[in-house]
Amino acid sequence: MQLNINITEFILLGLTQDPSRKNIVFAIFVFFYMGTLLGNLLIIVTIKTSQALGSPMYFFLFYLSLSDTCFSTTVAPRTIVDSLLKEASISFNECIIQVFSIHLFGSLEIFTLVLMAADRYVAICKPLHYTTIMNRQVCGMLMAIAWMGSCVHSLVQIFPALSLPFCGPNEIDHYFCDLQPLLKLACSDTYVSNLLMVSNSGSLCTVSFLMLMVSYIIILYSLRNHSAEGRRKALFTCVSHIIVVILFFVPCIFIYTRPATTFPMDKMISVFYTICTPFLNPLIYTLRNAEVKNAMRKLWTKKISDDI
């Protein structure tokens, strides 16, 4: 494919141009990104080293933490560096790579959340068939499909941008490269590209969110037939998942279901789902999950005893 480009780099205007506020942006992003790395990597290591966390739920939680880590890494480190610069620039190729990476790991998180909901549905509504339906081979195949679906989604996202001419201006009113602010700089009609973005990203977010909410409503309704202890444990798990779903999907739906329309608040909402949600996910899953906390405690105790 031949690229019709005159501009070879863009200027990222960031969250603010005020030097003092840039320092605040730097501090906030460093705090959340370090917390995201620490929390998610701790979950990843714990699940990989603990024999007690071998169920499908923790298999999917491993990939949720992995996608959170990668998703945040596509945005936060560059934003941290850019906040120290007077003018932040990014080449066209780097911009396209960032768009691809954001949508790859963002859609992988969406698919993983859907699989986690399906896993909880089978565990709660069909407990006698759980080990047969959600065996390791099935879980591995589902995650492979999720990875392939994420790649297809991301490729579909970047193809419209590759075919558009960019001849000026070159200032992206955002702190990272995404399709909406990028398409605003194109020198040709972007109606088809915006329509494709909404039908792709917008539909993926909206349909997945509705599916997840319906599935959890069904799960919660089915809990009426369980014992008090079973209801309590399943309710804690489902509430954790629902919190994650709302925190991630509501901002994404707000951003990706409006073709060719941007609001001043878009950048702040993007901050919430690019760095805040990946930071909160490990806190939600560890603070509300006794098995994960116990596995982390054992891992920490073993490390201390080995060091001694």
Domains in the chain and their CATH numbers? 9-307 (1.20.1070.10)
Whole-structure pTM value = 0.88
Give dist(CA 298, CA 308) in Å, integer.
15
186 SS3 class: coil
Are 70 and 33 contacting, i.e. CB atoms less than 8 angstroms apart?
no
- The whole-number average pLDDT for the span 231-241 is 75
pLDDT tens-digit readout, 48-66: 888 777 788 889 989 999 9
Find residue 10's DSSP bridge partners: 90
- In this predicted structure, the answer to whether residue 255 has a pLDDT above a threshold of 60 is yes
pLDDT band at 38 (very low <50, low <70, confident <90, very high): very high
- In this predicted structure, the answer to whether residue 305 has a pLDDT above a threshold of 70 is no
Task: Provide the pLDDT for residue 107.
Answer: 94
Give the mean pLDDT of the chain: 85
Tokens 């030097």 belong to residue: 19
